Amino acid sequence: MSLIDILAIPAFLASSEAVYLGAKEIDSSLLGMASLIPEIAIILNSMVIHQEIVGLSSLLGSILILYTLAFGVTGLIYLTKEKKGLKSQTPTEKNYIFLLSIVMLIILLTGYMNFFWSVTLVFLFVSYLWIKRSVIKVPKVKTLLLLVNGTIVLWILSGPIVKDILAVSSFVGVNPVIIATVTLPIISNYQEFIIAIRMAYRKRANDAFAALMSENIQASTLLLAMIGVLSPLRLYSLSPLFIAVAIGGILAYYSMNNRITLKTSMVFILMYCITMVLIR
């Protein structure tokens, strides 16, 4: 294993932090988009080496982990500070989450992620951004360089990380889809976990859940659409992941419409654990 392989993951995490800070300095509304950059880098590098299924499984794993594990842990931390369960005040995100869960089930039933579904998802992505639009200030050169340099480094490092996933899967005799689904979402979403936990601890759980839902909406639309355009795929091999993501979204919608309690938080965490066992 080369020095680049050893340093790839910590350098990838540091570059994700740089991208996040750059986006935050420009405008907080860009944080959702900035959080997609690590995943975009992984997906594109997977396509470069003709391992599109690894990129798609990583994306679905990212959506799932934010719907389930991140929701559950955030809810538990909030409940250590507040006895009363949390009721979300984010109607736009809730409605889009439910709509996208239904759309993903329909996509799975058709069996293909193709150009038609890409156009549909891009329309939903643009409509969401239009509803959530805000005025973005002109960035400083230093801030812009932080964002651009972080993005470039993420692109460079995501290639070795994807190759490491394939090498490990070959060495241990495990399907690379399983390893990608478990490991890559943690690497690409660690920043969202930290932010959500901090917000929940500071009694800003509503903002935390809104941020998690916002990223999932953008990932479920823009990134899935990108895969459909660049590399149409048959989806049956990933049926359990698609179903789990759709159920996770519907569960998140239900919880947001009622209250996130200790019980629902534990259900979110348990669902993630069960899904990871079932995809083996």
- 134 in helix, strand or coil? coil
Please state, for a pLDDT cut of 90, what percent of the chain lies above it.
15
CATH assignment of the domain containing 128: 1.20.1420.30
Q: What's the confidence (pLDDT) of residue 230?
A: 78
Cβ(146)–Cβ(14) below 8 Å: no
Residue ranges in 66-140 assigned as alpha helix (H): 71-81, 91-110, 115-131
The larger pLDDT score, comparing residue 33 to residue 55, is at 55
What would the mean pLDDT of 236-243 be, rounded to a whole number?
84
Give me the number of domains the chain comprises: 1
- 249 in helix, strand or coil? helix
The pLDDT tens digits of the residues spanning 117-149 come to 999 999 999 998 888 776 555 556 667 777 788
Query: Helices 176-201 & 37-48, crossing angle to 10 degrees?
Result: 170
Cβ(248)–Cβ(64) below 8 Å: yes
pLDDT above 70: residue 2: no
Quote the CA–CA distance of 31 and 21 in Å, as a whole number.
9
Euclidean distance between the first and final Cα of the chain, in Å? 26
Secondary structure tally for the chain: helices H, strands E: 13, 2
Q: Which range marks the domain in which residue 129 is found?
A: 3-278
Decide: residue 50, CB within 10 A, 0-12 exposed, 13-18 middle, 19+ buried.
exposed
